[in-house]
Amino acid sequence: MNIFMNISGVYDDECWSLPDSALLDFRSLEGCNCYCTSEAETAFRNAIAPLPLRSVHWIDTGDYHYLSKIWMEKAEEPFALALFDNHPDDQPDAFGSGLLSCGSWVAEARKSLPLLKATVLNGTGIPEGLPVYLSIDLDVMPREYARTDWTQGEMSLDALLSAVGTISAEHRILGIDICGGLTAAKGATAEDLAVNARTRNALAAYCASHPLVSG
């Protein structure tokens, strides 16, 4: 199952979608850009309450990567987070605001999710026997594969898919989320949008053809 969380309108800009997907429209929600107010957090949590963790969650651009933490709250057993991202997203709350943010959500998850037993960034080392929640930010890849407004890494799409395949062969996958991209409002060109849509298609095809999310 694919679940789209449309917040910035990035999928509209790319003219990209998948058939038979659940769509959650948050384009009018305030207080959620990079930092998430308690009101917005409650709105997100209520919206996903009836939806399964065992899905592929498309969670908009990297500005909303904190949604991973809200999805992981649905886990019911000890698990590990396998994060593919050019940033660790484990910064302390910079302003003492207490707001969940795209830069602090991993640190907040470690503090507040007792079932989260390990986090691994861009590679191997997941403790044996733990199921995995998999989170991918397109900015882990260079501009050949992704266009974002964050600094980008050097992992190729093939390398990313190979790493995901290795993890899924060795661990049960509880759920997947994918974020990243660039909106027209932030300066995306037609080429930028096409590059990101092409990579999304590749990721979606991989997820559809491999039994990643298991019961």
What is the DSSP annotation of 142-198? -TTT---SS------HHHHHHHHHHHHHHS-EEEEEEE----GGGT--HHHHHHHHH
Q: What is each CA distance from 60 to 6, 85, 110, 175, 178, in whole angstroms?
A: 6, 15, 23, 16, 8
Rg (CA), the chain: 16
| Residue 99 pLDDT | 79
- The arithmetic mean of pLDDT across residues 178-196, rounded, is 97
Is 5 or 98 the better-scoring residue by pLDDT?
A: 5
> Residues with Cβ < 8 Å from 35, sequence gap 6 or more?
97, 99, 100, 101, 102
Domain definitions of the chain by residue range: 2-209
CB of 4 closer than 8 Å to CB of 19: no
CATH of 2-209, one of 3.40.50.720, 3.40.640.10, 3.40.800.10, 3.40.50.300: 3.40.800.10
Task: Kindly list the distances between the CA atom of residue 184 and the CA atoms of 25, 27, 36, 171, 202, in Å, as whole numbers in the listed order.
Answer: 18, 14, 22, 38, 22
φ, ψ dihedrals at 9, nearest 5°: 90, 10
Chain centroid to CA 71:
10
Q: Is the pLDDT of residue 28 over 70?
A: yes
Q: What is the pLDDT of residue 92?
A: 74
66-93: average pLDDT: 93
Structure confidence by residue, pLDDT tens digits, 104-116: 899 999 999 999 9
pLDDT band at 142 (very low <50, low <70, confident <90, very high): very high
- Average pLDDT for the chain: 93
Model confidence band, residue 97 (pLDDT cutoffs 50, 70, 90): low
Say what the pLDDT of residue 81 is.
Answer: 98
Is pLDDT above 90 for 101?
A: no
pLDDT of residue 143: 97
Question: d(Cα 213, Cα 215) in Å, to the nearest integer?
Answer: 7
Residue carrying the six token digits 């992981």 = 72
Stretch (H or E) spanning 25: strand 22-25
Residue-wise pLDDT tens digits, 29-45? 999 999 899 999 999 99
* 116-121 vs 132-137, strand pairing mode: unpaired
- Cα–Cα distance measured from residue 93 to residue 103, given in angstroms and rounded to the nearest whole number: 8
Residue 168's pLDDT band (cuts 50, 70, 90):
very high
For range 7-26, the mean pLDDT: 96
pTM for this predicted structure: 0.94
Residue 96 has pLDDT above 90, yes or no: no
User: Which tokens sit at 71?
Assistant: 């999805």
User: Using 50, 70 and 90 to split pLDDT, how confident is the model at 215?
Assistant: very low
Whole-number percent of the chain with pLDDT over 90 = 86
| pLDDT at res. 11 | 97
d(CA 61, CA 83): 15
- Which one is predicted more confidently, 47 or 93? 47
Q: Where are the alpha helices (DSSP H) in the chain?
A: 10-14, 38-48, 67-72, 105-112, 157-170, 190-209
